């Protein structure tokens, strides 16, 4: 059973370009979470999705950022018109049961995508 997969592992974009980050959850997991980690900072929640639905996007900036988790295929985090402040590591996690299941649900993290904006 492969773990959470993210690609690309490293992404370089110039200011104003678009960045697309992909996440394939573990087999059997229908809950996906995106986090951002700035250097020397803890992970910050961005968005929580279940197949075809956004459950919680309270941590995601209202402009330029969007996320989806289609019925088929990976989850996508999209950043339009990137700025230097978007440079960070973006981690995806998946879980089998979801946040409302309580103590028994564990999130499994992917290796992250390191975005650098020039």
Q: Which residues bind other proteins (CB under 8 A)?
A: 4, 33, 35, 40-45, 48, 55-56, 58-59, 91, 93, 99-100, 102-103, 106-112
Residue closer to other proteins by CB (options 18, 41) is 41
Residue closer to other proteins by CB (options 72, 103) is 103
Cβ at position 17, least distance to other proteins in Å: 24
Distances in whole angstroms, Cα of residue 95 to Cα of each of 4, 11, 14, 56, 75 = 10, 25, 33, 15, 13
Cβ at position 27, least distance to other proteins in Å: 17
Cβ at position 41, least distance to other proteins in Å: 6
Residue closer to other proteins by CB (options 17, 74) is 74
Residue closer to other proteins by CB (options 13, 95) is 95
């Amino acid at each position: 059973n492969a773990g959470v997969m993210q690609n690309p592992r490293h992404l370089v974009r110039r200011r104003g370009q678009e960045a697309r980050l992909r996440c394939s959850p573990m087999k059997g997991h229908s809950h996906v979470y995106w986090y951002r980690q700035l250097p020397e900072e803890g992970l910050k929640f961005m968005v929580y999705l279940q197949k075809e639905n956004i459950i919680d996007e309270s941590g995601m900036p209202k402009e330029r950022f969007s996320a989806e988790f289609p019925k088929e295929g990976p989850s996508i985090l999209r950043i339009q018109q990137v700025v230097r402040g978007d440079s960070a590591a973006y981690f995806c996690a998946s879980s089998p049961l979801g946040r409302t299941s309580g103590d028994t649900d564990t999130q499994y993290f992917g290796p992250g995508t390191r975005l650098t904006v020039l």
